[in-house]
Structure 1
Amino acid sequence: MPDAVAEVDEVLAVEAGRAARKRVQRSALGRWEPGNDRVDPIAVLEQQARTRVPELVRIRYARMAAGRFPFYRGAPAIMAADLAAGPNTGLTVQLCGDAHLSNFGLFASPERALVFDLNDFDETLPGPFEWDVKRLAASIAVAARANGCGDADAVDTAAAAATAYREAMHRLAGLGETEVWYEMVDAEKVSDLISPKDRKLTDKVLTKARSRTSLQALDKLTEPGPDGTPCIRQDPPLLLPVPEHQRADLDSVLSNYRNSLPEERRVLLDRYQVRDVAMKVVGVGSVGTRCFIVLLTGRTTGDPLFLQVKQAEESVLAQHLRASIFRHQGHRVVHGQRLTQAAADIFLGWATGPEGNFFYWRQLRDMKGSVTIEDMSRTQLRQYAALCGHTLARGHARSGDRVAIAAYLGTGDTFDRAIGEFALAYADQTEMDYETLLAAIDSGRIDAATDL
């Protein structure tokens, strides 16, 4: 039975959630209209490009120009500025910061079980919970339109994610602290949340994820070197060799990374030796930042281990919210991931590069899998959207006041409908911004690669 103090805390949390409704009515979450002082979206992208590798920025623009959904994926900084222009609930969680549909996926827990969760935390920072929900919902509306759905279906699909978020948060509000912490969406729960007629698609994705390991990456990404040992295969401009002067710095960076790991993980890392390193272009929004893959092999058995070393810049949310408590941006990313994910990568850590750049390390492939959004039917997209909404609530409940958030959300569908309305309105904004990008490319204002 809860004690008197716990009962008082719960009452205060409920009151905090209801007070947040006075700051921002739930129906008001559905409004989106750009102000006259809205920042030029291309200027936001150009600002980001100033700290990135110029040759790779061309690839970033080309990937964003490929369609509205790729553009949306690459534009979290634009949306962060838009969200910050309006009021917020003040109900704080550890935000993913870029919770769009393609930033959810499957990966292996340390116990080798497949779990479904958020998987990208480059922009993580504490902030109002609804920012992540809106980022997810708008991505759903953009994807729905790209898949040929009408506006009514786009709204309904985005609202389904909000409903799943609300219902999951209410359930989590009734659980104990450790129960919430141990909550996870494993492969079995994924199957339970998917319609039986779509089980075949689900099973295919799960099977493919289980095959994506460092051993599989060894076959795909390497070739025999001059001495017969594996080396990373070049694939310009997406996979490039690292200059010798940078390779010379790897030992010190690796040592710095090692120190960020728990002591028992350092023992495991020491059982591997570095074989090769290459620069790799990944994602859409991250393109232009420095990203490397490192091939290591076991000292006694020769088993492969691929680690990804990804540059961590300041979160796109930082200029709109309270600054991170972490000076090291790689540490910020790792903290956000460990706090939010149900099961974090055992090799997750951070390091500082020779030029003072911040990086975080993780496994490149550890039974990682994802669905192809473009191949989804209307029904499948709706189910997947609900799964992502459910999963986002679980992540938020670990760091935020789940009782207060549940009290704010309520038990009716006011929140759900508002989020659906916002998603469609922001999908309209995304289409206009996308056309602005294409015009900037045509005019020569920005240079997009054409030879990919």
Structure 2
Amino acid sequence: MTDQVSGSAPKERAARGRAARADAPRSSHAEYQPSAKRPDPVDVIEAQSAARVPELVPIRYGRMMEAPFRFYRGAAAIMAGDLADTPRSGITAQLCGDAHLLNFRLLASPERHLVFDINDFDETLPGPWEWDVKRLAASLAIAGRENGFTDAERASVVRATVRSYRERMRGLAGLGNLAVWYTQADMDALQALADRRLGARGRKRSRRAIAKARSHDSLQAFEKLTRVVDGRRRITPDPPLIVPLQDLLPDTERDSLEELLRELIERYGHSLQSERRHLLGQYRIADMARKVVGVGSVGTRCWIILLLGRDDEDPLLLQAKEADRSVLAPYAGTSAYDNQGERVVAGQRLMQAASDIFLGWERVTGIDGRQRDFYVRQLRDWKGIAEPQTMLPKDMSAFGEFCGATLARAHARSGDRIAIAAYLGGGDAFDRALTVFAERYADQNERDHQALTDAVRAWRIPAQAV
């Protein structure tokens, strides 16, 4: 991506962005028509599930069945194929790959500041910047439908979100490279914006969310997820969502898997900066468990590792999650990284303003003889997630603006922000186009959700509500 910007004057980059409108007019982004060769959405989901833990796959289907928005969260692979057939400007950036509204949240920076940023990078890959914006826009339309918003209210939410992306990108285009790199959305600035935009109820809710995020630290997770058993700190079972290693497999296989996970944590440390590797070395592994996470990720191999430091009340909880090929890869190209865990980490470090100090990767050979890539990060560290089902239109519009501006900042770190800003322009042509696209894709998502529901009811695939 750097060849788009290095050695080119800002005027040349802006001219390139404006010229891209000839091949992909901004109004053309309203287009969405399912391809005649579009695969069965259930087939796409089943193909993903084939490589996952078989006994967990029904939980994934059960969660996706619950509602169209829950289905959407697990359908990034379906939408990736649909986006590949939509117009594109030809300008690329590092993509999140799954930029729906619940993948934006409050996080802790290494300096212990609360910031707003993207949180999920399982599908990250360089590609057309428009794809991330369209996935975000459609997620807001789908969430708005579930909240009973009117057509006009949903349109207002989506327009505000896309406008925020466009205006933030235009602002970033005028900054120097270091200024863009250091830009982040700290909580004080977000709270001030919320205070101006929201009513009394919304302001109260935002302040409560901030306080809740600050309480969701590693010590809170430690108290919730562990207990003392026979004088030793252990991870608390909650089957099938959390299953400690000692409850998961027969003795011989369990010993082999425990050795593998210990090796994973030890070797992954080499992907950290030296001082962070030194810090990791001051902890010892106390327990391990398999964990079910998210919606789209259900069935991937995910482990939580309890480590203890100075004493049994000095915890570090790590999550080691399997990384597979990005759902964007068939359409955007193969990753430059052979290790899919490294792909995730590199994308996260590139897009996030401040990443987890324990974020790293490793490849191991499992007890089944297959090589698997993992990325590792802290399980919970000052994370606060939105609750869209409680939002009024004004609340969702403000939240969408935060998301749009954050996504623009993330794209500006890797893509040609000057060209993207010039392509978008000062008018609202792109905003209006994505408002139409979002509704059209929300219709498609509802049809796909119904297809999954029908497949479960016809006993084509199993589903489990957990």
Q: Distance in 1 between matches of 2:320 and 2:134?
A: 29
CA deviations on 1:292-345 (whole Å, 9 max, x unpaired) are 111111145741111111110000000111210000000000000000000000
**Of 307, 310, 317, the match for 2:328:** 317
**Of 225, 231, 236, the match for 2:234:** 231
**Of 177, 200, 205, the match for 2:204:** 200
CA apart distance, 1:351: 1.1
CA separation of 1:58 and 1:413: change in aligned 2, threshold 3 A: same
> What is the correspondence of 1:285-304 to structure 2 with a 5 Å cutoff?
285-299=296-310, 302-304=313-315
Please tell me the residue identity of whatever aligns with 1:9.
A
CA deviations on 1:343-379 (whole Å, 9 max, x unpaired) are 0000000011232111000001111111211111111
Q: Would you say the 8 A contact 2:320–2:376 is kept in 1?
A: yes
CA apart distance, 1:154: 1.4
CA deviations on 1:186-206 (whole Å, 9 max, x unpaired) are 101211221252221111011
Structure 1 residue 448 corresponds to structure 2 residue 463: yes
Q: Name the SS for the 1:448 alignment partner.
A: coil
Q: Would you say the 8 A contact 1:142–1:427 is kept in 2?
A: yes
**Of 268, 277, 288, the match for 2:288:** 277
Segments of structure 1 that go 5 or more residues without pairing to the other structure are: none
CA deviations on 1:35-78 (whole Å, 9 max, x unpaired) are 21111111100110111111111000000001010000000000
Please tell me the residue identity of whatever aligns with 2:208.
K
Count of equivalent residues? 446
Please tell me the residue identity of whatever aligns with 2:126.
P
Please tell me the residue identity of whatever aligns with 2:297.
S
Q: Name the SS for the 2:27 alignment partner.
A: helix
Choose 152-161 or 336-345, whichever is displaced more. 152-161
TM-score w.r.t. the length of structure 2 is 0.94
Q: Name the SS for the 2:431 alignment partner.
A: helix
Q: What is the RMSD of the two structures over their aligned residues, measured on CA atoms? A: 1.4
CA apart distance, 1:87: 3.2
> Sequence identity of aligned pairs in percent?
52
Q: Distance in 1 between matches of 2:372 and 2:288?
A: 17
Please tell me the residue identity of whatever aligns with 2:392.
S
Q: Name the SS for the 1:248 alignment partner.
A: helix
CA apart distance, 1:168: 0.2
Q: Name the SS for the 2:332 alignment partner.
A: coil
Q: Would you say the 8 A contact 1:309–1:359 is kept in 2?
A: yes
1:218 match:
222
Q: Would you say the 8 A contact 1:105–1:117 is kept in 2?
A: yes
> What is the correspondence of 1:68-87 to structure 2 with a 5 Å cutoff?
68-87=68-87
> What is the correspondence of 1:7-406 to structure 2 with a 5 Å cutoff?
9-194=9-194, 195-197=197-199, 198-226=202-230, 228-242=231-245, 243=249, 244=254, 245-299=256-310, 302-355=313-366, 356-406=371-421
Q: Would you say the 8 A contact 2:185–2:406 is kept in 1?
A: yes
Q: Distance in 1 between matches of 2:376 and 2:461?
A: 31
Q: Name the SS for the 2:331 alignment partner.
A: coil
Please tell me the residue identity of whatever aligns with 2:224.
K
Q: Distance in 2 between matches of 1:266 and 1:8?
A: 39
Q: Name the SS for the 2:329 alignment partner.
A: coil
Q: Would you say the 8 A contact 1:294–1:306 is kept in 2?
A: yes
Q: Runs of 4+ in structure 1 displaced over 4 angstroms?
A: 5-8
Q: Distance in 2 between matches of 1:346 and 1:35?
A: 43
CA apart distance, 1:263: 0.8
Please tell me the residue identity of whatever aligns with 1:425.
R
2:427 match:
412
TM-score w.r.t. the length of structure 1 is 0.97
